[in-house]
Amino acid sequence: MTIGTADRRPSGSALVPLLSSPLGSVCYALRTGRGVFLFDAGHPRAAEQTVALLRTEGLLDDLRAIVLTHAHADHVGAAGLLQRLTGAEVWAGPRQADGRLAEQERRLGLVPDPYRVTRTLADRERIDLGGETIEVLLTPGHADDHAALFLRQERTLVAGDLFTFGDVGTFDITHHHTRSLALMIESVRRCADLGADRVAPGHGPVQRRPQRLLQAAEHRLRFFRERPLLLAAHTLMPLMLLLIESRSGALMAELREQALRHARCFDEFLAGLDGAGIAHEFEKILMILALKGLVSVVDGRVYYRSDSLAAAA
């Protein structure tokens, strides 16, 4: 697993992006007059590497708080370990635990160490970090507890999974897809009103042309409203990639059935969508992942990234 500084820090910014995930989740460190603040805590399989990277960057000893955009496993991975090591606080939005989501993460091997939330964030709350002020926006749509964090002096939006790799993020699978879409539309609009100079997403590089990103996101959201099957495919693609990562080398038919089994745990999200259409979308997801170079198919089996090279050797 590669872990390190993810992209150079944004021009004129003190925000340090840290890659902390085999699937590309990013956390961000900011040193202020009151210490170091870490936005998100990376992937659970990279928790020890995240700690080592913070130590290498000279950030670990001054860690004051871990500010979470949401509680999905790939964003809280090192929170428990860091809290034990440093005594750092953990700040997060109000959460309604969903046992189905926790069970799905457990089946995928995404089980972070437990941590204790010491401060619950409120909508439009402003927090003085010492030379920087963050404004909290509660932004459901990807997760009920999702919060976007606007660094007012930096003019940077730490957006969590509202945006990923220059696209709108995936949708909250614990609600019907129409409700999740409506929540995401409202959250993106609220972020657009901030006038940020940069967007720091939960996955992918910092976006330095936020207006273009926000316009593209709004276009995609309108498109998903008209074609909800593509909305489902967009949201289930990361699930497919997680399954491939955890079961690299599985037969295509077996993998497809596993993905559908996971998706059926959230029937409310998929309600009203054609079952055959969803199965067909999974076929297209595999093709897209292969075209992106994230997976390879060798002798009818699907391999994750570098595993495919070993299988072909």
- Judged against a pLDDT cut of 80, whether residue 311 lies above it is answered with no
What was the pLDDT predicted at 309? 41
Mean pLDDT of 111-134: 95
Q: 223 is written with which tokens?
A: 């498109």
Lowest pLDDT segment from 134-148, 157-171, 236-250: 236-250
Q: Between 12 and 278, where is the model more confident?
A: 278
* pLDDT for 9 beyond 70: no
pLDDT digits (tens, 9 = 90+) for 24-79: 789 999 999 999 999 999 989 889 999 999 999 999 999 999 999 999 999 999 99
Sequence spans of domains, the chain: 4-226, 228-312
234: part of which helix (H) or strand (E)?
helix 228-246
Q: How much is the mean pLDDT over the chain?
A: 87
Model pLDDT for residues 173-197, shown as the tens digit of each residue: 999 999 999 999 999 999 999 999 9
> At residue 116, does pLDDT exceed 50?
yes
Give buried/exposed letters for 135-156 (b at 16+ CB in 10 A, else e).
Answer: bbbbbbbbbbbbbbbbbeebbb
Per the structure block, which two tokens stand in for 233?
């495919």
Q: What per-residue confidence (pLDDT) applies to 11?
A: 56
pLDDT greater at residue 4 or residue 70: 70
Q: Is the dihedral of CA 46, 52, 57, 62 positive or negative?
A: positive
In this predicted structure, which of 23-32, 163-172, 268-277 has the lowest mean pLDDT?
Answer: 268-277
**Whether residue 282 has pLDDT greater than 80:** no
pLDDT of 310 over the 50 cut: no
Taking residues 72-87, report their average pLDDT. 96
Chain centroid offset of residue 126 CA: 23
Q: State CA 236 to chain mean position distance.
A: 13
Which of 115-119, 202-206, 244-248 has the least mean pLDDT? Answer: 244-248
The superfamily in CATH containing domain 4-226 is Ribonuclease Z/Hydroxyacylglutathione hydrolase-like (3.60.15.10)
Does residue 103 contact residue 266 with C-beta atoms inside 8 Å?
no
pLDDT score, position 280: 81
Residue 19: pLDDT above 70?
yes
Which H, E and C letters describe 193-208, residue by residue?
CCCCCEEEEEECCCEC
pTM, two decimals, is 0.88
CATH number of 228-312: 1.10.10
